[in-house]
A and B are shown apart, each in its own frame.
With several copies, the nearest count.
Chain A
Amino acid sequence: MMLDGRIFGRMALFGTAYLTLGFILLPLFFVTWLAFFAQEIPSFPPEGYTLKWFGAIADNRNFATGFLTSLQVAIAATLIGLALGVPASLILARQTFLGSSAINQLLLLPIVVPGIVLGTSIYVFQIETEIATGLPVLGSMGGLVAGHALLVIPWTVRLVTASLTGLDRAAEEAAQSLGADQWTTFRRVTLAAIRPGVVAAALFGFVASFGNLEMSLFLVAPGSITLPIAILQYLEWKIDPTVAAVSVLQIALIGGAMIITDRYVKLARVV
């Protein structure tokens, strides 16, 4: 009786775990399947399978230039985000000073504030900066990258902070007693210890920037385009498996990046 109850409870829990997983995976599985359908109007049953929609991506100028822009912006934003976020995390994890815990919370804001609000804020900020300084901020690559860098910072702060808590400060003192000066200690011990966190932050930051739509909608230059915007525009006038193929490619890219990163640093330990 007691055992029955336990088994039943456990089955229910297992069931929910798989149900939750299915809930998440089903649409992704579906879009993948669809990308290989032969017919142009996606419907069941498939009339056959083809790879031509993947070919169609390359032929679409918007997808190609959008992909390049997104890639450039994401790389630049990730680098800037890391350059700001890593030192900030180091100081916040190691020092307690006036407002340090508040700062720690505030740095997470871009994860919490809705993208559209963040986009609006940066948009008006850049407009006003442009008006005030006369510099071409809005619609410039720099403005777009700056906006996207905001998305990278919270990931950096969280993941680097998490990996720092695993580092024994005594290890840094040990390095110094062994003859390493402060810079060498930082490079060989501190940075090495947070490397998994930095790698994971780069991955998640890159993905957050690459897939971002709201910020780009506001900040992108007229005539310029990012991949998410290209997908949105394409869907406005046409639904065919090309868009599924683009999605599949992105999922495959991100999945591949995660698997490779996971080999290198166990994501489950830092995320």
Chain B
Amino acid sequence: MASLTLDRLTKRYGDTTVVRDVSLDVRDGEFLVLLGPSGCGKTTTLRMIAGFVPPSEGSIRIGERPVTDLPPWKRNAGLVFQSYALFPHMTVAENVAFGLEMRKAEKAEIEPRVREALRLVRLDGYGDRYPRQLSGGQQQRVALARALAIRPDVLLLDEPLSNLDAKLRLEVRLEIRALQQQLGLTTVMVTHDQEEALTMADRLVVMSDGEVRQIGSQADLYETPTDLFVANFVGRSTMIAGTIYAPGAFRSEGGLELTCPPGPVTGLATMSLRPERLTIGPDAARLDNHMRGSVAFVSYLGGLLDVHVRLNDRDQVVVQIPNRGDVFVPAIGDQVEVGWPAAACLVFPRETN
């Protein structure tokens, strides 16, 4: 394993820049996730690391080795695809052995390493089957074993769970993460699924429009997003449009006067609130911001309740409350007290697009 460094990586197709100035340091053994909506440049970035897309500018190093100009077959990167991309005409064992053959490994060496790789993904004894005889989850585990068998310097995962159904996704997610930690694999994964990203990553990179928006831990992204895009994309948010007219003073378009932490933003602004930071009921009165509203909709989600509260003609918030036996559950149309601390307010300049 080795570290991975991207330095001001840029990719242009004609006049279109699909990746702009991406610089990253992936530490040895770290699980880094590139997270963003489709078209944000995350997949192009991964394909530049793998060597399938030549960068327009910038450089890539694996450990101390510059690989920017190397073809894919000289980069020693293990790649796992969304579509599994197994060789349909080879058995599972032949699939896993392929990379070792390419490295001109001896027959005597290949066999135990294939067995070891299959054991790692809990597919011992499946070596003689063909990919089409396996379930989707098993196929993806074969793809993982194939990538691991070559002892890659970095492991690259391209939406590896998207083709699996919900239950399997959860299972394979845990398996990949456990294996990555056990073997200390330097890993870059691309996904658009924030839950997947949050549960698997050591560190996350949020991308949009070809640029890096924020790099940080789960808590960094969730608690202190650097812009509205990240606040919106990671976790759920209620947005209130308004104006910062004095430090720490926000007036919503619906006329609410709200207190927020003083910050650099002035003028047109958007306040982002996490649903679970809001309080409903009598306790709300003690909080920095509190007001009355009427319940518009209650959604029962088992362990959670979402209460949509209409504050005035323009402003509405969602309050998420854990469904504990003793909890107060309002009904549609009820007048309720809602509140939240100033510290729960994230305020960003209004984005004009």
Contact = CB atoms under 8 A, between A and B. Distances in A.
B184 to A, nearest CB: 20
Given A176-B72, A180-B102, A192 B87 contact: yes
Interface stretch (A31-39, A134-142, A152-160, A166-174): A166-174
B77 interface: yes
Given A175-B98, A179-B99, A170 B71 contact: no
Given A2-B71, A173-B85, A195-B89, A178 B98 contact: yes
B150 A174 contact: no
A170 B163 CA distance: 14
A174, A179, A189, A192 interface centre (most CB from chain B within 10 Å): A174
B98 A170 contact: no
Interface string A13-47: 00000000000000000000000000000000000
Interface in A156-215: 166-168, 170-171, 173-181, 184, 188-189, 192-193, 195
B73 interface: yes
Contacts of B274: none
B81 A174 contact: yes
Given A192-B87, A192-B89, A170 B81 contact: yes
A171 B86 CA distance: 6
A220 B307 CA distance: 85
Contact of B72 (A177, A189, A192): A177
B103 interface: yes
Contact of A179 (B73, B83, B85, B87): B73
B245 interface: no
Contacts of B88: 166-167, 171, 193
The dominant DSSP class at the A interface is helix
Contacts of B82: 170
A177 B98 contact: no
A174 B73 contact: no
Contact of A177 (B77, B87, B103): B77
Contacts of B79: 173-174, 177
B50 interface: yes
Contacts of A171: 85-88
Nearest to B69: A2
A192 B88 CA distance: 9
Nearest to B71: A2
B101 to A, nearest CB: 9
A25 B51 CA distance: 41
Contacts of A189: 87
B78 A177 contact: yes
A167 B83 CA distance: 11
A195 B86 CA distance: 17
A178 B79 CA distance: 8
B146 A173 contact: no
Q: What is the interface residue range for chain B against chain A?
A: 20 to 34
B85 A168 contact: yes
Given A193-B89, A195-B89, A178 B83 contact: no
A2 B50 CA distance: 15
A175 B50 contact: no
Interface string B121-154: 0000000000000000000000100110010000
Given A170-B81, A170-B83, A177 B73 contact: yes
B142 to A, nearest CB: 11
A175 B94 CA distance: 12
Given A179-B102, A179-B150, A195-B89, A168 B83 contact: yes
A177 B51 CA distance: 8
B81 A173 contact: yes
Nearest to B78: A177
A166 B87 CA distance: 11
A10 to B, nearest CB: 16
B75 interface: yes
B151 to A, nearest CB: 12
Nearest to B86: A171
Given A184-B102, A195-B89, A176 B73 contact: yes
A166 B89 CA distance: 11
Contact of A178 (B89, B150, B156): B150
Contacts of B90: 192
B152 to A, nearest CB: 8
A121 B81 CA distance: 50
A170, A176, A177 interface centre (most CB from chain B within 10 Å): A177
B99 A178 contact: yes
Contacts of A178: 73, 98-99, 102, 146-147, 150
B85 A174 contact: yes
Contacts of A177: 50-51, 72-73, 75, 77-79, 147, 156
B77 to A, nearest CB: 6
Interface string B80-119: 0111011111100000001100110000000000000000
Contacts of B87: 171, 174-175, 188-189, 192-193
A179 B103 contact: yes
Nearest to B76: A179
Contacts of B51: 176-177
Given A173-B85, A178-B73, 17 more contacts: A168-B83, A170-B82, A171-B87, A173-B50, A173-B79, A176-B52, A176-B72, A177-B72, A177-B73, A177-B75, A177-B78, A178-B99, A179-B102, A179-B103, A181-B71, A184-B102, A192-B87
8 contacts: A167-B88, A170-B81, A171-B88, A174-B143, A176-B72, A177-B51, A192-B89, A193-B89
**Nearest 10 pairs between A and B by C-beta?**
A179-B102, A178-B99, A170-B85, A177-B79, A176-B72, A174-B85, A170-B81, A171-B85, A192-B89, A2-B71
